[in-house]
A and B are shown apart, each in its own frame.
Chain A
């Protein structure tokens, strides 16, 4: 972490991101194309799920990234409150909608998969519900960071919210699990049947890495935009 402190200066970060972004974008597109080919043509159909197993290659990495994204928000929030890094606030502002989008993709693909498999778009399963609550926590973060006329105020309020949210996430997860087992036993909602075969696992991990590239690329690009936007606002205020 200490080595990343040199990026805390927005101007230095901008030079860094401008050098990295084109290559990263190119790599992301290439990896996603290869991943899509693997997911659609190389990976075999599941003997029970048929073609719908291919949804998992988008669904599972989205779930991982939306959870990782919230951890990133909390880390950025801590870095803003402890070291007052101006860039942490801008990056949190950039990362929150990306994380929320991955949570939304996870929920949408999950319900599209659920329709043929479980016969319904939505069940009040513990996993679905906690992902929905994670999505709401993202929405709260986005709304709070943009609620004030002074952006710095919103940034710091959202940072506190992210830290409290990350403490509460395990508690929410635990209580939702408990709630579900109280009401209905796990029926068809078990994904972790036997161990996953390599022919499925390799495309899945490939897609996870490509989507991680996409995540990083989007966050860097949006952070750059936020830096420009903040500069414009400051210039307008000064003029």
Chain B
């Protein structure tokens, strides 16, 4: 387990040394969301109704943006080869990388989204629900995106391909994440939605590390 924490700490330290990378992703999230009122018009009722969908989609795109580099640096400088040779499971390394990605993108996005929701005219309960669903749902995005990043590792023009692979697989998370706020508006609780989001995250947790490890082994061959 010490390998896991070591790799996680190393990835977090790398991000800390260059905090601008995270800042760019968060700035993209803010700018992308702000464009919607400008494009659609400033009617508060309409904005409040589409807020959850807009914020969820923008969070999804922002998470994808930073995924392209998830394994690329390790692939280029040879760290990945050492991880492949190391006598401990590559699945854990994959999980550590995805967890690090979630801590530096999914977590700040979930914390930031409710503040942007205020600008869309969401009420207090919806804002809490938005933050909660993003908190439970974004780990799935990091795991699925990590798989797409591992599959496209070393391919020319991997960015667009990564999005094409990851987006259809992220549809269930998007549906239940954005749907939760809609049920709240209809007067129902969000417990079912959060439970399903958690279930999706667990399914991703149980399947993707193995697939990522398999994809990384091929990239290393």
- Residue positions of A touching B, CB distance < 8 A: 81, 133, 136-137, 139-140, 143-144, 147-148, 153, 156-157, 160-161, 163-165, 167-168, 171-172, 174-176, 178-179, 182
Rounded to whole Å, the gap between the CB of B201 and the closest CB of chain A is 12
How would you classify the secondary structure of chain B's contact residues: helix, strand, loop or mixed? helix
- Chain B residues lying within 8 Å of A133, measured Cβ to Cβ, are 168, 171
Q: Is B147 an interface residue (CB 8 A)?
A: yes
Decide: B215 and A160 in contact? CB cutoff 8 A: yes
Partner of A167, one of B168, B179, B182, B207: B207
Decide: B164 and A136 in contact? CB cutoff 8 A: yes
Decide: B155 and A175 in contact? CB cutoff 8 A: no
- Chain B residues lying within 8 Å of A167, measured Cβ to Cβ, are 203, 207
Decide: B215 and A157 in contact? CB cutoff 8 A: yes
Decide: B182 and A182 in contact? CB cutoff 8 A: yes
Decide: B172 and A164 in contact? CB cutoff 8 A: no
Which single residue of chain A is at the shortest CB-CB distance from B207?
A: A167
> In the complex the two chains form, what is the Cα distance from A165 to B165 in whole Å?
10
- Chain A residues lying within 8 Å of B175, measured Cβ to Cβ, are 175-176, 178-179
Interface size of B as a range: 20 to 34
> In the complex the two chains form, what is the Cα distance from A137 to B155 in whole Å?
18
Decide: B172 and A172 in contact? CB cutoff 8 A: yes
Using an 8 Å CB-CB cutoff, how does the interface string of B157-195 with A read, 1 for contact, 0 for none?
110010011011101100110010011000000000000
Interface centre among B171, B176, B203 (most CB of A within 10 A): B171
A140-B165, A153-B218, A157-B215 known; A182 vs B183 contact (CB < 8 Å): yes
Decide: B155 and A165 in contact? CB cutoff 8 A: no
- Chain B residues lying within 8 Å of A136, measured Cβ to Cβ, are 164, 167-168
> In the complex the two chains form, what is the Cα distance from A37 to B188 in whole Å?
54
- Chain A residues lying within 8 Å of B164, measured Cβ to Cβ, are 136, 139-140, 143
Decide: A164 and B147 in contact? CB cutoff 8 A: yes
Partner of A164, one of B171, B182, B207: B207
Partner of B218, one of A157, A171, A174, A176: A157
Rounded to whole Å, the gap between the CB of B75 and the closest CB of chain A is 13
- Chain A residues lying within 8 Å of B161, measured Cβ to Cβ, are 140, 143-144, 147
The 6 closest A-B pairs by CB, nearest first: A175-B172, A147-B155, A179-B175, A136-B168, A140-B165, A157-B151
Which single residue of chain A is at the shortest CB-CB distance from B208?
A: A164
Which residues of chain B from 197 to 213 have any CB-CB distance to chain A below 8 Å in the complex? 200, 203, 207-208, 211
- Chain A residues lying within 8 Å of B72, measured Cβ to Cβ, are none
> In the complex the two chains form, what is the Cα distance from A58 to B176 in whole Å?
34
Decide: B154 and A148 in contact? CB cutoff 8 A: yes
Interface centre among A140, A148, A176, A179 (most CB of B within 10 A): A140
> Can you give 8 contacting A-B residue pairs, CB < 8 Å?
A136-B167, A140-B165, A144-B161, A147-B161, A161-B151, A163-B211, A168-B172, A171-B203
A137-B168, A147-B155 known; A171 vs B200 contact (CB < 8 Å): yes
> In the complex the two chains form, what is the Cα distance from A178 to B178 in whole Å?
13
Q: Is B156 an interface residue (CB 8 A)?
A: yes
- Chain A residues lying within 8 Å of B110, measured Cβ to Cβ, are none
> In the complex the two chains form, what is the Cα distance from A156 to B214 in whole Å?
9
- Chain B residues lying within 8 Å of A164, measured Cβ to Cβ, are 147, 169, 207-208, 211
Q: Is B152 an interface residue (CB 8 A)?
A: yes
> In the complex the two chains form, what is the Cα distance from A140 to B207 in whole Å?
19
> In the complex the two chains form, what is the Cα distance from A171 to B138 in whole Å?
17
- Chain B residues lying within 8 Å of A179, measured Cβ to Cβ, are 175, 179
